[in-house]
Amino acid sequence: MQNWQTFLPARLARHFQSAVDQTTPIEELRARYQAMAATFGPAPSDLVVEKAQLGGVRGEWLRISDTQPQRLMLYLHGGGYISGSPEPHRPLAAKLCRAGNTAGLSIAYRLGPEFPFPAGLRDAVDAFRFLIAKGVPPESVILAGDGAGGGLAFSTAMAIRNAGMPMPAGIIAMSPWADLTLSGWSMMQNADNDAVLSWDLLFVSARHYLKGAHPVDPYASAVFGTMRDFPPIMVHAGSREILRDDASRLGELAATANIPVSVEVYDGMQHLFQASSSGSDAKVSVNRLGQFIRTRATEAAHLLDLIKGVKRG
């Protein structure tokens, strides 16, 4: 079965799969994540992008032109908690905006090692708090993310709940990294099947991000937390990726707390297969995630006017 990694240039494939260790420079680690994001393709031509500033948190507003969305997706990009920004992840976020008929806010949360855990988590929580304080209804907001951003979405929800703030309408994640101990069985089972990620890359990334913090802290590794009082959840992953079990374990955690949850593992698919522009599984996954957004997030009248109010500070 074909997926976007099938068509990686040989040079990029070697770049992804060559070994790393604790002496690998942070610039080289970031280059690996950047090379992966570069394969996502261009953002759609009808995507409207505007700079965002929510207190001390930067980011960008996303909207498909000629639409009047009444929901908001707070998007957290991937990159191993040490790399990435909203811009290269626009293609993925834009697909969800279109499928879910939602506006998007993709934030540039702080990254390790310069800003180690929990700096990025604080940025995500602060962005949500800022939105709610400006009148955006929490029941119209979906937390979303890919890779590390998917794991961060769940940790953010835990922090929101523990702070006594109102919860968002739902959480969606694509190939989330939610266990920084790397203890899932798929880490070994799919070591030779994953065309993008490796145990070594994630291990070194986690060390840079945590900077001595304990990897079983639920705010770092959501699989070690609880989902009491969580909103409904949808998580998608590929059967051939080493993060497959992170998705499954998040689903088990939700089920234990009696939270409505759907975990879908797509047979033969790799990490972030949704980036494909032509794959049938990618289209099915994105449409399913979009349907979840439309079903779970309550429409907020005049949401774009509320967002304009946020922009004005």
Residues in the chain, overall count: 313
pLDDT score, position 7? 42
Per-residue model confidence as pLDDT tens digits over 181-218: 999 999 999 999 999 999 999 999 999 999 999 999 99
What beta strand segments (E) does the chain contain?
A: 47-54, 57-64, 72-76, 103-107, 141-146, 170-174, 233-238, 261-266
Per-residue model confidence as pLDDT tens digits over 212-243: 999 999 999 999 999 999 999 999 999 999 99
Examine the pLDDT at 147 and tell me if it is beyond 50: yes
Tokens 């880490």 sit at which residue? Answer: 187
Report the mean per-residue pLDDT for the chain.
Answer: 94
CA 219: distance to chain centroid?
15
Q: How many CB atoms lie within 10 A of CB 205?
A: 27
CATH number of the domain at 114, please.
Answer: 3.40.50.1820
Number of domains in the chain: 1
Of 121 and 312, the structure prediction assigns the larger pLDDT to 121
Of 10 and 139, the structure prediction assigns the larger pLDDT to 139
What number is the average pLDDT over the span 55-59?
96
The structure's pTM equals: 0.94
d(CA 187, CA 239): 12
- Enclosing domain of residue 18: 4-311
d(CA 221, CA 218): 5
Per-residue model confidence as pLDDT tens digits over 79-108: 999 999 999 999 999 999 999 999 999 999
Per-residue model confidence as pLDDT tens digits over 252-304: 999 999 999 999 999 999 999 999 988 899 999 999 999 999 999 999 988 99
3-state secondary structure of 149: helix
What number is the average pLDDT over the span 56-74?
97
pLDDT score, position 16? 52
d(CA 240, CA 145): 20
